[in-house]
Amino acid sequence: MESISLWQGLALCGIVSWIVISSSLNVTRKLRTLVQPWVSHHVITGTPMILQIQKYQHGFLDALFSGLSCVVSVPFYTAFLPLLFWSGHGKLARQMTLLMSLCDYSGNCIKDVVSAPRPRCPPVRRIIATKDEQENALEYGLPSSHTLNTVCLSGYLLHYVLSYTQSEDASLKFAGFAVACLIVCLTGLGRIYLGMHSVIDIIAGLAVGFVILAFWLSVHNHVDSFIVSGQNAPKSVSKT
């Protein structure tokens, strides 16, 4: 318990120190001044590529990418995550919940720091199918939250399934990896096709997503052990 208390104290001190230092030195404004013009330039210069992709406009593609955007959005996971708890996969549900929170917090922090615009509409055609998408269109662009979330959550889900089944079948691993890559690629392409993001937003979402996923895979067992052990866990929490 002493080591846990020490870890908690160090983490809290680190957070408070960062808040004080970043506020006193105006770190956010300096980073925005440095990065925003470069990102905005790439958003503008990437418009022709978006228009080129949108030339293949079709009702089926509109429905496909709009539906895919809903599947990887926060409202979907709000409904999906409780099903994992009810199905008995407590560890997966806990990890997916924490990972989604980390992804959303990190992505939105970067968006606020960079404050980069989304592709201008018009000339870009923006397809908004839900109220959630309408609210997303009012936010800053970089990084793409949908791409970031898809990389992290599909990657961790694949890791969990392979670990849970303990399969050594190379073809099964390859198939799972291929499906995860396909979902990530379709999500990124869909965000461009729908006019919600530029290419630089998707690249940033991929980069941030892989960094967060790599970090989470290195600490997720320690985090879950901390949650379900000692005085931190109610008696009803299962270690499955």
42, 58, 89, 146: the active-site residue: 146
205 in any annotated domain:
yes
Determine how many CB atoms are found less than 10 A away from the CB of residue 208: 22
Domain-located, residue 67: yes
**Cβ atoms within 10 A of the Cβ of 29, count?**
11
Q: Indicate whether 34 belongs to any domain.
A: yes
Q: Is residue 4 part of a domain?
A: no
Mean pLDDT across the stretch 196-217?
A: 91
Q: Kindly report whether the global pTM for this prediction surpasses the value 0.75.
A: yes
Domain that holds residue 108: 26-232
Residue count of the chain, please give it.
240
Catalytic residue among 89, 197, 220, 222: 197
Say if residue 186 is exposed, middle or buried (CB neighbours under 10 Å; 0-12, 13-18, 19+): middle
Structural contact between residues 199 and 49, judged by C-beta atoms closer than 8 angstroms? yes
- Is 54 part of any domain? yes
Is 146 annotated as catalytic? yes
Active site residue 42: no
**Residue 136 within a domain:** yes
Task: Work out how many domains the chain is built from and give that number.
Answer: 1
The encoded tokens of residue 208 equal 């941030």
| Better-scored residue on pLDDT, 19 or 143 | 143
Identify the band that residue 5 occupies on the pLDDT scale cut at 50, 70 and 90. Answer: low
E strand map for the chain: none
